[in-house]
Amino acid sequence: MGDVLLNSFLAIFEFQNLLFIILGVFLGFIFGSLPGLTATMGVALMLPVTYALEPTTAMLFLLGIYCAGTYGGSASAILINTPGTPASAATVIDGYALAEQGKASVALRMALLASVVGGIFSALALLLIAPQLSKVALEFGPPEFFALALFGLTMIISVSSNNLRKGVIMGILGILISTIGLDPIGGLPRFSFGNNYLMGGINLIPALIGLFAISEIIKKSQTAHINKKDQISNVEKTVTSFKTLIRRFKKTMLKSSAIGTFIGAIPGTGPAIAAFLSYNEARRASKNKDEFGKGSLDGIAASEAGNNGVTGATLIPLLTLGIPGDTVTAVMLGALMMQGLAPGPELFVNYADVMYTIMFGLILVNIFMFIQGTFATKVFAKIKLVPINLLLPILIILCFIGSFAVNNTMFDVKVMLVFGLIGFILPKFGFPITPMLLGIVLGPIAETSFRQSLAISDGSYMIFLTKPIALVFILIAVISILLPIIKPYFSKIRKQK
């Protein structure tokens, strides 16, 4: 066994492996940072290239795209208020606010550092405790998924502290939007109004681009007279070191990495859910809750460590059980099959050297992501120096291309424009956008798992109370809902005493 581990470790430093890791990370940055393109698209497009490669080289190449693509979405989230990928939807909450304060560079560095910490944490989990995590993941059925989604939806309360009523309304609106399309259980159309395009529901990417990018473009177009000199003066003059960021945010990054790793090991979840849950936990534990949503580095650290904590963990059910953890690993399943490797328990017996090379290689992928990302953040930060009247037309073109590229239809472009108007108009009346986003992301999971649970239990709601994991998440969700309501009353009683 020792010889296998040593040979696997040395194999990752072969020239071909290093070359394709570097290339994969570079392509991942591109696919992640451009709105509308995703890590899944990048991995799928590069899949034919891997056919001629060795199994380990092929997987390390795809993992480079996956990890860097997950991080790359934070660049556009921070700089242009547009999550490059759904995984970075939580990053936009604080990232763009920091960029507007002239702190784009430190926000990008924080995102990079947290992504690398999350990625390495999950890679170590894959290497050390994959069998144990896979057993826990198998315990998740529809009741557990519903409880997890319900817990995630309680974040609506924490991000709506300024106006809880309007935040809840927006959350409900987001959930209603998520129900558009075919009923996931019965197959009947809902709210489609005879439109065939609506049968498939509202795609998340055009909605994200509209809510955040188009709405911001409309706002910026009203102040397009800002000149280059003004923008340059709004960029930080000093750069916060990675050492300082580690010292200040190590607890947040480690906790969020653990959350991301746990969520990633559960098939059918994904980095977006992990990012929101990590963000919610970071805000709950923070002494400076009011900073969240206004430019908190803690928020960026949590969301990015959370979503990259998923990257290695999604391989746990794939390699140990043959079950893809998310859409990217579903494509990777195809890559393994193309190489003649059938995922499952026997994979570690028959191809132990290949498996351990992939696991060690995932750590190296994150190290290269840090090295290449350090240079990339310097380039990304320069975007804030581009005059707004030159930047806006470029952003509009990218938004249109990104929305169209999802399904190659103009309908998605129209969806983007509608959500752009929603994102521009409703905040003017005090309605926050983030709760709507949460409803759109978590609504389908909550609905499908809720109805599946009732079908399993013949309509009995007791199924949610008899499952230990589901019960724990439901209790945490109830506490999260009641605590903000009860807390002011306790504060008044203390003051009276």
pLDDT at position 256 is 94
- pLDDT for the residue 384: 64
CA separation for the pair 214, 410 (Å, rounded): 16
pLDDT at 366: 94
Closest by CA position to 133, among listed 358, 312, 328:
312
Distance CA(466)–CA(396), nearest Å, equals 51
Joined tokens for residue 44: 């799928």
pTM of the prediction?
A: 0.82
Express each pLDDT in 362-416 by its tens digit: 999 999 999 999 988 888 777 766 777 777 888 888 889 888 887 888 999 999 9
Distance between CA 247 and CA 266 in Å, rounded? 31
From residue 157, how far is each of 170, 398, 451 by CA, in Å? 11, 33, 24
- What's residue 230's pLDDT? 43
59 burial type by CB count under 10 A (0-12 exposed, 13-18 middle, 19+ buried): buried
| b/e burial code for range 303-337 (CB count within 10 A of at least 16 → b) | bbbbbbbbbbbbbbbbbbbbbbbbbbbbbbbebbe
How is residue 351 written in tokens? 């191809």
pLDDT of residue 177: 93
Quick: pLDDT tens for 312-348.
Answer: 888 888 887 777 777 788 888 888 888 888 777 777 7
Burial of 122 (0-12, 13-18, 19+ CB in 10 A): buried
In the predicted model, residues of the chain with pLDDT beneath 70 are: 1, 36, 134, 158-159, 161-162, 223-239, 384-385, 484, 487-488, 491, 495-497
List the beta strands (DSSP E) in 91-200. 181-182, 189-190
496 SS3 class: helix
Tokens of 350: 């028959």
